[in-house]
Amino acid sequence: MNFVKMIAVSALAGVAMMSSLHTPAFAAGETSQLTAEDAWARSRPASAKVGGAYVTLINNGKTDDRLIGAQSPVADRTELHTVEMQDGMMKMMEVKDGIPVPAGQTVALRPGGLHVMFMGLKETMEEGKTFPLTLTFEHAGDKQVTVQVRAAGAMKNMPHGSMNQGGSMNHGGSLNQDGTMGGGTMPHMGTDKGHMGQGEMQKQHSN
C-alpha cells in the first residue's frame, strides 16, 4: 500500500503548491478588517425544511478570526456545516469549532463543502428572494449580509460571477486544502483536473 500512500502524499503536495500560487486580492480602501461578501443560496422546494447558503469571508486584518455562528429569521436553527468524503462516502457534519478565517486570507463557502445550514425553514427559499443572515465572528463580532436566492442548481452567485475577482471563482485550484476529498483511500478515483471538491476553503497566502 506504499504506492497508495505515495499518491496521496504527492496529491496533497500538489494541492499545497496550487494554493500557494494564489495571490492576495485586497480591496483597496477597505475600512473593515473582515468582510463577508457574495452571500447566496440555492432555491428549495416549498416542502423543504432545510437549506444552505454560501458566502465569501475576507480577512484583511492582521488577526486570525473565526466564524463561530450564524443566525437568520428564515430558520429555526442555523448551523455551520461541511462535507467530507471518506472512502467514497459523503458525510455532512456540523463544524463545531467554527470556520477559521486566518489573517490576510479569503475563505469561500461554496457548493460541495463548507456551507451555512438552515434547519426548520420558516419561509420558502424561492429563487429571486433575499433574506438577512447574521454571521458571528470570534473577534469581528456580528456581520449582517443579504442572501440572494438563486436557481436550485446554481453553482455560484452569478452577478459576481466574473472570473479572477477576489479569487473566489478560481476553479483551477479549488481542491480541498485539507485533503479530505480525493485523498489516498481510492487511488484510481482521480481528481479530474481539479474539479473534485468544488468549494471548501480557498486560502490566499499573504506572507
Partner 1 sequence: MNKVFAYAVALLVIVGLTIAALVFTGVLSGPGQKSRSGIIAGAPQIGGPFELVNHKGETVTDKDFQGKMMLVFFGYTFCPDVCPTEMQTFVQTLDLLGEDADQVTPVFITVDPERDSVDVVREFVAAFHPAIVGLTGTPEQITQVKKQYRAYGQKANSEDKEYYLVDHTSFTYLMGRDGSLSTVFSYGTTAEEMAKVIREQL
Q: Spell out, one character per residue from 135 to 154, where the chain touches partner 1: x when CB under 8 A holds, - when not.
A: -----------------xxx
Q: Spell out, one character per residue from 106 to 125, where the chain touches partner 1: x when CB under 8 A holds, - when not.
A: -----xxx-x-xxxx-----
Q: How many residues bind partner 1 (CB under 8 A)?
A: 49
Q: How far is the CB of 171 from partner 1 (least distance, A)?
A: 10
Q: Which long-range contacts (CB under 8 A, 24 or more apart) does 55-58 make?
A: 55/109, 55/116, 55/133, 55/135, 55/145, 55/147, 56/106, 56/107, 56/108, 56/109, 56/166, 56/168, 57/99, 57/101, 57/106, 57/107, 57/108, 57/109, 57/135, 58/27, 58/34, 58/106, 58/166
Q: How far is the CB of 8 from partner 1 (least distance, A)?
A: 13
Whole-number Å distance between alpha carbons of 2 and 9: 10
Query: Which among 21-29, 58-66, 97-105, 182-190 is the span making contact with partner 1, rule CB under 8 A?
Result: 182-190
Cβ-based nearer residue to partner 1, 28 or 46: 46
Whole-number Å distance between alpha carbons of 112 and 15: 17
Query: Which among 27-35, 76-84, 98-106, 129-137 is the span making contact with partner 1, rule CB under 8 A?
Result: 76-84
* Contact status: 9 vs partner 1 (CB under 8 A): no
Query: Which among 17-25, 41-49, 134-142, 157-165 is the span making contact with partner 1, rule CB under 8 A?
Result: 41-49
At residue 150, φ and ψ (nearest 5 deg) are -115, -170
Classify residue 192 by its DSSP letter.
Answer: G
* Contact status: 184 vs partner 1 (CB under 8 A): no
Whole-number Å distance between alpha carbons of 18 and 79: 30
Q: What angle do CA 148, 54, 83 make, to 5 degrees?
A: 150
Contacting partner 1 within 45-64 (CB under 8 A) = 45-52
* Contact status: 159 vs partner 1 (CB under 8 A): no
Q: Which grid coordinates belong to 75?
A: 430558520
Task: Point out which residues bind partner 1 (CB under 8 A).
Answer: 3-4, 42-52, 77, 81, 83, 85, 88-93, 111-113, 115, 117-120, 152-155, 181-182, 186-193, 195-198
